[in-house]
Structure 1
Amino acid sequence: MGMNRTRFLLVVASALASIVSSSQVRGQEDRSSAFDVHRGGVVMTFDDRNFDDWVNTIPLFDEFGVKATFFISGKIDDHAVDAIRRLRKHGHAIGSHSVHHLKAVEYCQDHSPEVFLRNEIRPQLEAFQAAGVAPTSFAYPMSRNDAVTDETLLKVFRHLRTGKNVADGERICDADAFFVPAGRINQQGCLIAKGIDYAPARPDRTFEQIDAALTRAAENHEIIVFYAHRICATKPDRGHFVTPEALAQIFGKAKQLNLPFYTFDQLP
């Protein structure tokens, strides 16, 4: 009886030590990925339902230590749940992109903000919850937002994401709308992102443009948000896309500038 009790106590002590050790490791990981209000950073995002592309690109994200946010539209079906599980396993975040990918401004004008929440937001959030996900952020389909939609959705999400283009001849690094001081990110409910699909082929998203934007973010301790859709080596039959090579160039430049990548879940 005494020997059995001793063995039992040894097993319990070993289990407790393992739990403490695991907790310490998790704590170290959490601190290493914590948002730094005194440092600039990049928030990399992808939209829609390009699950195979995203999952296949996990090794590239891992290579550069990039954690991204994936804004999913439509049903949270088995395909979506499987991709969510794989992406979250590697530290990526999941956001909402609405049920039917409709323009929020026009929908709210034609119906009401309450109907938009009821039909486009809450059903998807319930499906996310069933899959074990609680999105903290929402990306506007087609970047259609205004003060009314922002006020409505910020009652549900901590941050929103919209987008805008730069004028012909304008440099991203000169457009203040794309940059938020890291220390004030918690006051910025809706963040304006710059699209990088087709980089570097288009004049507003050449590597020179993107490098200059990353350099400004690093020098001024600002946050910049990028968004894309599909990730393909060659032009696909459908959908906007960015190549893995272009992403590697952008990730490498950010690493050179010592700019961390944050998910929307990590933003305060």
Structure 2
Amino acid sequence: MKNLFSKKTAAILLITIIALVVVFKMYSEEKTVAKPVKKAYPPGVVFTFDDDYIDDWYNAEKLLHPLGWKATFFVCWYGSLSRDQKDKLHYLQDMGHDIAGHGYNHLNALKYSKEFGIEKYINDDIVPLKAAMKKDGFNIHSFAYPDGARDTDLDKELLNHFDIIRGTTYDEIPAAQQYCYYEGNRLVYGLGIDDDYKQFNIPYYKTLLDYAKAHDKIVIFYGHKTVENADEKLETPLYALEELCKYAKEKGLKFYTIDDLAKL
């Protein structure tokens, strides 16, 4: 009788263990299936330009259009633009480029908000910019900080007004340590390619493109005035821009805009 009881107990225990294993396996498989998979995207490059150098950007488009490039133009001082300049912005938009915001009066967001508060900064530099540009057919979705001046409080507020915002980063550091790659965040950082920046170095920029290609990254660059002969501050030489576009194309990198990143 005692042996019979032991056998029954052992059988019940075995069945229970098997049932628990099956349930655990099913639960584990369900969790594995339900786990979201990170979307892959082709490696590439984003070229961005700040301020109100519309005539120069228009000339750059004429030069680089055969390469199939794309860029994002962050516009400020919109109220001072001529009809011809606004028409050129529309032309750039029609060519597949992004027209974006850089502040109505190019205010230093960090300094202004520290002195007058974030709400006043938004009302003085963001709201009028979006309204004026929307009136002319530019429904802007992204923003770049003037002077790269930002903090987390500003980021939080501006992301209520834009899909994606761009800060800045500096220095010629190893490609793997750079911050100028898209990492799936709504805050991104660009590395300057104006020739007065200390990191201006075309071979170095190419190492970033190589790294992007090898590691499925998207490099983000920014400049200002695109000119044939860069002899002042905040100027991106056209020869450098053309060389980087050609190199990116040779490497099979995709040209993105900032708005493209927001859609990823």
Tell me, yes or no, whether TM beats 0.5.
Answer: yes
Once residues 164 and 235 of structure 1 are traced to their aligned partners in structure 2, the CA distance between those partners, rounded to angstroms, is: 21
Shift in Å, 1:60: 2.2
The answer to whether residue 115 in structure 2 is matched with residue 110 in structure 1 is yes
Does 2:222 correspond to 1:227? yes
Aligned length: 222
Alpha-carbon distance between aligned partners in 1 of 2:91 and 2:45, rounded to the nearest angstrom: 22
SS in 1 for 2:220: strand
Stretches of structure 2 that go unaligned for 5 or more consecutive residues are 1-38
**Is the partner of 2:240 in helix, strand or coil?**
helix
Counterpart of 2:245 (choices 226, 232, 251) is 251
Aligned to 1:71: 74
- State the partner residue of 1:141: 146
2:63 paired residue number = 60
What secondary structure is seen at the aligned counterpart in 1 of 2:100?
strand
User: Would you identify which runs of 4 or more consecutive aligned residues in structure 1 move more than 6 Å?
Assistant: none
User: Residue by residue, what CA displacement relative to the aligned partner does 1:124-150 show, whole Å, maximum 9, x if unpaired?
Assistant: 100111111111100000000110110
Q: Which moved more, 1:43-52 or 1:72-81?
A: 72-81
| Structure 1 residue 176: Cα displacement | 3.7
Which of 187, 190, 193 aligns to 1:193? It is 190
From 191, 203, 209, the equivalent of 2:204 is 209
Moved more, 136-145 or 60-69: 60-69
Pairwise CA distance, 1:98:
0.3
* Counterpart position of 1:242: 236
SS in 2 for 1:180: coil
Q: Which stretch has the larger CA shift, 142-151 or 60-69? A: 60-69
Per the TM alignment, residue 202 of structure 1 is displaced from its structure 2 partner at its CA by: 5.9
SS in 2 for 1:179: coil
Q: State whether structure 2 residue 221 is matched by structure 1 residue 218.
A: no
Moved more, 43-52 or 73-82: 73-82
Distance 1:64 1:149 in 2: 37
Q: Aligned partners of 1:152, 1:68: CA distance in 2, in Å?
A: 25
Match of 2:155 among 144, 150, 154: 150
Structure 1 equivalent of residue 50 of structure 2: 47
Give a deviation string over 1:95-122, Cα, whole Å, max 9, x none: 1000111211111111111111111001
Separation (CA, whole Å) in 1 of partners of 2:120 and 2:203 = 43
Cα distance in 2 between the residues matched to 1:125 and 1:225: 24
Which residue does the alignment assign to 1:25?
Answer: none
Q: Quick one: distance in 1 between partners of 2:103 and 2:77?
A: 7
Query: What 5-or-longer segments of structure 1 have no aligned partner?
Result: 1-35
TM-score of the pair, normalised by structure 1: 0.78
